[in-house]
Amino acid sequence: GGAQATDRALAGLKVVVSAGPTYEDLDPVRYLGNRSSGKMGFAVAASAARRGAEVVLVSGPVNLPTPAGVKRVDVRSAAQMREAVFAAFPADIYIGAAAVADYTPRLPAANKIKKSSESLALDLVRTPDILAEVAARTQELKLVIGFAAETERVAEYARGKLVAKRLDMIIANRVGVADGGFESDSNAMTAFWKDGERAFASAPKTQLADELVDLIVERLHA
């Protein structure tokens, strides 16, 4: 069932949530970003706080109000997000809802890149995988939860990430379809863990977040 104001199932626990996109600067006026709105991560943070958790929300650039009872830390790049996440530890639960850039410019230009030849190749390097690092390094964590936005083979790719990153749970959703995804207010998604899964019907992100936090409480005691 949904969260009641009296449901304090996460009281005494610290939850770190990452949300939103990251922006990787190319030069003083340009960046590489993505379409993440941050809504899902913010809704999950709000829901966890309503259940009594101490919540730190590490947010990339978004246009959303800070949920009640949540400590918000604003960052821009993947590197800054990684620093802020580890600075928020120790914690009991990590929920990686951010759409972290996979690549960042090897060297951001100090001055505006000028137009010259007919084509331009960017030199990009991999960013650290914050979620995998959290799952690998942090022993006090009771649950490490990731998200996976996929355009195809959703269950297969999500389960692959669950195993590869040693997560306790991954929440997958299909992006690039009419209903759901990065910019919409509602979404359909499926949670996968080692020996189970649960489908969530398309619903507003605030409701999905409550249902997801219900499942997190269940898995915490499993």
Whether 148 contacts 156, CB under 8 Å: no
The residues in 111-140 that bind ligand CTP, with binding defined as CB under 6 A, are: 127-131
CA distance 12 to 54: 7
Shortest approach of ligand CTP to residue 198 CB, angstroms?
Answer: 17
| Cβ burial 110-120 (10 Å sphere, 16+ → b, else e) | eeeeeeeeeee
By beta-carbon proximity to ligand CTP, the closer residue of 21 and 67 is 21
DSSP secondary structure string for all residues of 117-149: SS-----EEEPP-HHHHHHHH-SS-SEEEEEEE
**Count of residues engaged in binding Ca ion, rule: CB under 5 A:** 1
Q: Does 67 bind ligand CTP (CB under 6 A)?
A: no
Residue in 96, 105, 180, 181 binding ligand CTP, rule: CB under 6 A: 96
Is residue 194 annotated as involved in ligand binding? no
Tell me which of 34, 63, 111, 187 is the catalytic residue.
34
CA distance 74 to 101: 16
C-alpha 50 chain-centroid distance: 19
Shortest approach of ligand CTP to residue 100 CB, angstroms?
Answer: 4
**34 assigned to active site:** yes
Give me the amino acid identity at 168.
D
Q: Does 161 bind ligand CTP (CB under 6 A)?
A: yes
Whether 132 contacts 148, CB under 8 Å: no
Is residue 102 annotated as involved in ligand binding? yes
Residue ranges that bind ligand CTP, judged by CB under 6 A? 18, 78, 96, 98, 100, 102, 127-131, 146-149, 161
Catalytic site positions:
34
Going by the annotation, the residues of the binding site for CTP are: 102, 112, 128-131, 147, 161, 165
